[in-house]
Structure 1
Amino acid sequence: MRHIKALAIKLIAVLVLSYIILGLFFNYSIGNVLTLTLLIWIVSYILGDLLLLPRTNNLTATISDFATAMILTWFYLANITYNENNLFLVSFILSIGVAIINWFFHKYMMSNVIREKESYVQTNNFHYQTEASEEISPDKSKWKKDNS
């Protein structure tokens, strides 16, 4: 139930942002806005919120969500647009907005969805144990000589 609520919050936030930026400012159709929103929503939830956020921190997951939104938006709009708009600018503006939303959404995720028992081991918490011996090289005088 926690994940369903988080998915709904993220879907609504990304859909409203995408509609404002893509629909109102750059005149993309609601079908294109909805399709792109669903792509960004699913990929960033799985990659940024479920895989990276528990293992790293908010900044790393937000940068990942920015890059994911930038790549998905750029490739999707490149396939449906005939050079009406500057695709990099549109993708960059939408990605900045998605990153800002996800910065706050990650705080919600850490406090309400991801619990302490679900957190993963940090990569810098490993404690290695090594073996050591007193001698660096063997003492040949202590070897038994074969008298055969």
Structure 2
Amino acid sequence: MRTGMTLLIKFILTFVSAFIAFDLLLNNDISWILLLSLVAMLINYLIGDLMVLPAKGNMIASIGDGLLAAITAYIFDLLIPAFTTSWSTLLWFAILIGIAEYFFHLYLKKDEKVAP
């Protein structure tokens, strides 16, 4: 149950970052932002939290999570005509995710009850 709550927190952090970058700055539809947040959260969890964080540490994992999230949003832009990005919003998204993930990883490392 603790891992589920942690993933919910990660989703909320991802959604807030995506909302700021893609709704407030570009006015994308909230349903696409929700889907992007879910996909980016899952990718960042599987790659960033389970593989990169234990092997390379918090800073590298946080930067990688930001880059992975921006790449995911860019792929969404290519595949979904109704969803748009710009270089500046992708940069903002990567920065916001990187910052959020840095502090999220600190929480993960402190909480021994969260399953890897």
Residue correspondences, number: 115
CA spacing shift, 1:86–1:23, aligned 2, 3 Å: closer
Residue deviations 1:19-75 (CA, integer Å, cap 9, x gap): 122112210001110111011100001111111112221011112102211211111
Q: Hey, what does 2:108 align to over in structure 1?
A: 109
Q: TM-score, normalised by structure 1?
A: 0.69
Q: Hey, what does 1:53 align to over in structure 2?
A: 53
Aligned ranges 1:80-91 → 2 under 5 Å = 80-81=80-81, 87-91=86-90
Query: Unpaired runs of 5+ in structure 2?
Result: none
Aligned counterparts of 1:19 and 1:86: Cα–Cα separation in 2: 12
Query: Higher relative contact order at CA 8 Å, sep ≥6: structure 1 or structure 2?
Result: 2
Pairwise CA RMSD: 2.2
Aligned ranges 1:1-148 → 2 under 5 Å = 1-81=1-81, 87-113=86-112
Aligned counterparts of 2:86 and 2:93: Cα–Cα separation in 1: 11
* Percentage identity across paired residues of the two chains: 29
> How far apart are residue 2 of structure 1 and its match?
2.6
Is the 1:66–1:96 contact (alpha carbons within 8 Å) kept by the matching residues of 2? yes
> How far apart are residue 113 of structure 1 and its match?
4.4
Aligned counterparts of 1:46 and 1:101: Cα–Cα separation in 2: 17
Q: TM-score, normalised by structure 2?
A: 0.86
Residue deviations 1:80-130 (CA, integer Å, cap 9, x gap): 348x96622221111111111000000001111478xx7xxxxxxxxxxxx
Paired residue type of 2:11: L
Secondary structure of the residue aligned to 2:39 is: helix
CA spacing shift, 1:86–1:13, aligned 2, 3 Å: closer
Misfit runs of 4+, over 3 Å: none
CA spacing shift, 1:89–1:79, aligned 2, 3 Å: farther
